[in-house]
Amino acid sequence: MRAGTDVMRYSDGLSNEAMKLTTKLNNSYHTPEEIREILSELTGKEVDETVSLFPPFYTDCGKNISFGRRGGDERCTGKYGCGWNAG
């Protein structure tokens, strides 16, 4: 039972962190550089300078998302979130 509780706490922590960061992202203006910094914090990975995102953006976790190059600029209008690996 303990392992299940630990997993739930970990999952809840990731979700709470994602809510905090998406609220920060969605509730005020940010430069493209600041958006990439927030996305990097959200995903735990460096976000390439070619990535553009136009808020609002929503996600349940964030750590399962990757943004990156695929032969040009990656663009995501995150109304429903971007749950794909773009890299």
- Evaluate if pTM is beyond 0.75: no
Q: Classify 54 as helix, strand or coil.
A: strand
DSSP β-bridge partners for residue 51: 74
Handedness of CA 63, 67, 70, 76 (dihedral sign): positive
pLDDT in tens, 19-78: 999 999 999 999 999 999 999 999 998 988 888 888 999 888 888 888 776 534 445 544
* Residue closest to 60 by CA, chosen among 9, 18, 6, 13: 18
Q: Classify 75 as helix, strand or coil.
A: strand
